[in-house]
């Protein structure tokens, strides 16, 4: 994603300060429901997301919403 002004990064709370630079994006993963509600988020630092955890959470949330 391109976010030259950092608006999206700040809106998602995924920014950090590094070596005197502000608003540096933090590696993150989000599950978004209905295109507008964040239902789960992982702030990851330098590591990649545990994709199995993301999938398991998505499945659990989809079962919750179908009840």
- For the full predicted model, state whether its pTM sits above 0.95: no
1 in any annotated domain: no
pLDDT in tens, 24-37: 888 888 888 888 88
32 in any annotated domain: yes
Taken in order 4, 24, 12, 43, is the CA torsion positive or negative? positive
61 in any annotated domain: yes
Per-residue pLDDT, 64:
67
Q: Give the number of domains in the chain.
A: 1
14 in any annotated domain: yes
2 in any annotated domain: no
Stretch (H or E) spanning 31: strand 27-33
What range defines the domain where residue 29 resides? 7-65
Q: How many residues does the chain have?
A: 67
15 in any annotated domain: yes
């Amino acid at each position: 994603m391109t976010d030259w002004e950092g608006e999206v990064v700040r809106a998602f709370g995924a920014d950090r300060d590094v070596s005197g630079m502000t608003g540096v994006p933090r590696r993150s993963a989000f599950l978004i429901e209905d295109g507008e509600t964040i239902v789960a988020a992982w702030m990851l630092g330098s590591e990649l997301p545990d994709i199995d955890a993301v999938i398991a959470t998505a499945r659990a949330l989809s079962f919750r919403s179908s009840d």
